[in-house]
Amino acid sequence: MGRVWKFQDDIDTDVIIQGKYLVINDPAELAKHVFESIRPDFARNVKEGDFVVAGENFGCGSSREHAPLALKATGIEAVVAKSFARIFFRNAVNIGLGVIECKETDRIDEGDEIQIDYKNNIIINKTKGENYEMNPIPNFLKKIIESGG
């Protein structure tokens, strides 16, 4: 179970990690700058097991792997979004970052405590006492994510 950090539609890779940090190769150092331009408090306050929840087209923009790598290094369990840019989705899977599609992200609020039931494809909102259906993750993708990429 983790805390929700809520974001809007069309969060692009330059918002996740600004281009000026692409010279950094250490994921832990990259993590210090995640969402710096729109949520300066994120990197300081995010906790292991928290979730990023967003709307449509999360991870649009550049195909750089720095964005999912930096997010994973923050310790979040997964990104939950209505949809993902396909290249971001694949890059995230390749490095072992959980990516979950759910059409009901509008019902999840900043600060809610959620838990993912991967077996039953349900997101459990402990704060509101609600459950949301998520798109099933194919077994071959689950195996890649579970093994760390």
Say what the pTM is. 0.96
Percentage, residues of the chain above pLDDT 70: 100
DSSP string, 100-138: EE-TTGGG--TT-EEEEETTTTEEEETTTTEEEE-PPPP
pLDDT for residue 132 = 99
Domain ranges of the chain: 2-146
Q: How far is CA 61 from CA 26, 34, 56, 79, 144, in A?
A: 22, 16, 13, 17, 24
The Cα 74–Cα 76 span in angstroms is: 6
Number of other residues whose CB lies within 10 A of the CB of residue 41: 10
- Give tens-digit pLDDT for 74-109: 999 999 999 999 999 999 999 999 999 999 999 999
pLDDT for residue 134 = 98
User: Residue 149 above 90 pLDDT?
Assistant: no
Q: Which CATH code of 3.30.70.890, 3.20.19.10, 3.10.129.10, 3.90.380.10 fits the domain covering 2-146?
A: 3.20.19.10
- Give tens-digit pLDDT for 19-38: 999 999 999 999 999 999 99
